[in-house]
Amino acid sequence: MATKSKSTPGVPSAEKKIELFSGTYFAACTLGGIIACGPTHTAVTPLDLVKCRRQVDPKIYKSNLQAWGTIMRSEGVRGIFFGWAPTFVGYSFQGAGKYGAYEAFKYYYGEQLFAGAPKTLVYLGASASAEFIADIFLCPFEAIKVRMQTTLPPFAGSLREGWSKIVREEGYAGLYKGLYPLWARQIPYTMVKFATFESAVNQIYATLGKPKEEYGTLAQTGVSFLGGYIAGIGCATISHPADVMVSKLNADRKAGESAGAAIGRIYKNIGFSGLWNGLPVRIGMIGTLTAFQWLIYDSFKVYLGLPTTGGH
C-alpha cells in the first residue's frame, strides 16, 4: 500500500498541490469519480437501452442493429438515448461514492485498521464498502431508468415524470424496491472491477519490467485503460445474472410482492439460461465503459498532480 508522502510517483514534485490522503485528496477523488462515471454511462445509453429491453423480453428485437434501426426510424436520436437523464444523474452520484469512498476505505483499511493485510483483501473490502454506500444514491435513479427503458409504451417520458409517478403510486419506498438486487449486482461487480484492475495494473508493470515511477504519465494512463478493460470483462460477467434480475424486478414486480417472491416467480419464468440474456452486449459495453472510466479518472488525478491508481 502507498504511504503518505509529499512526493508523487511519476509526476514532477513541482506539480504536487494536494497532499495524499488528506481531505482535499479524497474530495478530488470523489470529483474524479463523478467525471468518470456520469458521462461514460450516459454515452452508452443506446447499448443499455437495447440490453435492458432484450433482458426483459428476448423476443422484442432480433439483434442489436435491428433494435437501433427500429428505434431510430420511429423515434429518432432521442429514442436511442431514451433514459439518459436518470442515467447521468444516478451514475454521477454512484461514481462519487464508488471512487471517493474506495480511496478512503483503501487507505483506512490498508494503512490504519488492517495494516499488513494482503493487498487483494484490502481492495475487495474497500470496494465492497464503497459500493454499498454508492448504491443507496444510485438506486432511485436506476429504478426510474429501468422502468422508462423496459416498458412500452414508456412508464414515463422524463426523469421528473418518472420520479413523481413512482412516489405518487408507491411512495418513496418504490424508489428503493430494487436496492437489494442492486447490491447483489453492483457489490460483486465493483469488487471484481477494483481488485482485478489493481492486480492487472500491477501485472502489466511487472511484465513491462520497470516500476511505474519510471514511465511517463501518458504511458501510465495507457496502462490504466488496459487494466480497466480487463477488469470490465470480469465484472460484467460476474454481475450479469443480477443485472438481468434488477431489470426484471423493476419492470415486473407486482404491488405488495416481496423481493424474494418476485425473484422466485421471475426465475421460474426465465430459468437459468434467461439470466444470461444480453451478456455479449454487456461485456462489450462494460469492458469499454470500465476502460474509459479508469482512463478518465486517472487522467484527472494526473491533471491535479496526483499519482495514477495501482502499480505500487
Q: Which top CATH class is 19-176?
A: mainly alpha
Q: Do the Cβ atoms of 295 and 217 come closer than 8 Å?
A: no
Q: Give the pLDDT of residue 281.
A: 78
Instruction: Assign 230 to helix, strand or coil.
Output: helix
Considering only CA atoms, which of 131, 136, 143, 132 is closest in space to residue 177? 143
Domain ranges of the chain: 19-176, 187-311
Distance CA 91, CA 137 (A): 9
pLDDT for 14 equals: 38
Beta-carbon count within 10 A of 158 CB: 15
d(CA 34, CA 20) in angstroms, rounded, equals 19
Amino acid at 248: K
Tell me what pLDDT residue 312 has: 66
The answer to whether the pTM exceeds 0.85 is no
pLDDT values of the chain reduced to their tens digit, one per residue, 312 residues: 444 444 444 444 434 579 999 999 999 999 999 999 999 999 989 988 998 888 778 788 988 899 999 999 999 999 999 999 999 999 999 999 999 999 999 999 999 999 989 999 999 999 999 999 999 999 999 999 999 999 889 999 999 999 999 999 999 999 998 898 899 888 988 999 999 999 999 999 999 999 998 999 999 999 999 999 999 998 888 888 888 887 787 777 777 788 788 888 988 888 888 888 878 878 887 888 899 999 999 999 999 999 999 876
